[in-house]
Amino acid sequence: MDKKLSNLKDKLYWKWFFGATIFTGMILMVLQIDIYRSTIIDSAIPLSIVLGIGVITYSLLHRKYKEVYNVRGFFYPFMQSLLSFGFIACYVFMAGNFYLADRDSNQFTFPIKEKSSMPGTSNKSKRTPLVRFDYFGKEKELVFDYSSTVKVKESDFVTLTIKKGAFGFMVVESYDVK
């Protein structure tokens, strides 16, 4: 009886652990969106962090996941690893670069290459303006508030105030259009 109870406690612990980590990973993924938008970084870097950490944790935990949830194959344990540990690690990296950035900032002005819009968050019919520009060879896009729509339409340049992040990736402190 003690062996069954011990196995049940172990299974419940691992179910709690897997549930808590995937919940945390998904929350941090959402919070990371604004940090990503404010960081000048190639999208391949956060993607490689998510995939790299996901593969490593998959190789370490897939047997335990299959044992706890009685599943076959690799899809569910791999998605668990990506969505939990991959996004947790990526958030730590992106947030560390963002929040531990230098205090010194510089201002740059770039010509706007393209303007478009995307659905607003609170009211889907109010499209928020978006501008794309070339930041020293890297394409970057910035999303503005709906209230800036007219100002963005009339502008030809974007002005950025940037600072160097803790891991060397530039962080956009503020931006406006001219």
Which pLDDT belongs to residue 178? 87
Q: What are the pLDDT digits (tens) for 63-82? A: 999 999 989 999 999 999 99
Q: Which residue has the tokens 């794309």?
A: 132
pLDDT by position in tens, the chain (length 178): 678 878 888 889 999 999 999 999 999 999 999 999 999 999 999 999 999 999 999 999 999 999 999 899 999 999 999 999 999 999 999 999 999 999 999 999 999 999 998 876 666 677 889 999 999 888 899 988 888 889 999 999 999 999 999 999 999 999 999 8
Which pLDDT belongs to residue 27? 97
C-alpha distances out from residue 56 to 62, 68, 78, 120, 154, Å: 10, 19, 10, 37, 49
This prediction has a pTM of 0.86
Domains and CATH numbers, the chain: 2-99 (no CATH), 106-177 (2.40.50)
Q: What are the pLDDT digits (tens) for 152-163? A: 999 999 999 999
Determine contact, residues 133/112, Cβ cutoff 8 Å. yes
Determine contact, residues 147/158, Cβ cutoff 8 Å. no
Determine contact, residues 145/98, Cβ cutoff 8 Å. no
Determine contact, residues 69/79, Cβ cutoff 8 Å. no
